[in-house]
Structure 1
Amino acid sequence: MSQIRSQHPQSPNGQDGRPIFEMRAGGLHLTIHRVPYWLFSLVAAIGSGGGAAWLFR
């Protein structure tokens, strides 16, 4: 039986090297390995405020 090898090797800190998000569209290749949580919380705060303003206009 042959052994299946992953394309993404494991990093020394114990996390595998697989990206969280990977998109390929034509010549564009977008890969996200780590989410900056401050950016995620900022987008959520702005989005929820904008959604509330739109909902209760």
Structure 2
Amino acid sequence: MSAKEQVLNLLKENSEAMKAGEIATALSIDKKEVDKAIKALKEEGSITSPKRCFYTKA
């Protein structure tokens, strides 16, 4: 499973918005990979940012 899929699945399971660092820790993957995945998912419209540096499913 790609980092992008892992991030999206985690955000779908979690009801609260999460920071990139929290996502990286929860998934045990590098924060840079999480940042890339978040950027791609935001461009697709799959996730949103309710407040600065926090992300949740769209």
User: TM-score normalized by structure 2?
Assistant: 0.30
Which structure features the higher share of helix residues? 2
User: TM-score normalized by structure 1?
Assistant: 0.30
| Greater relative CO, 1 or 2 (CA 8 Å, sep 6+) | 2
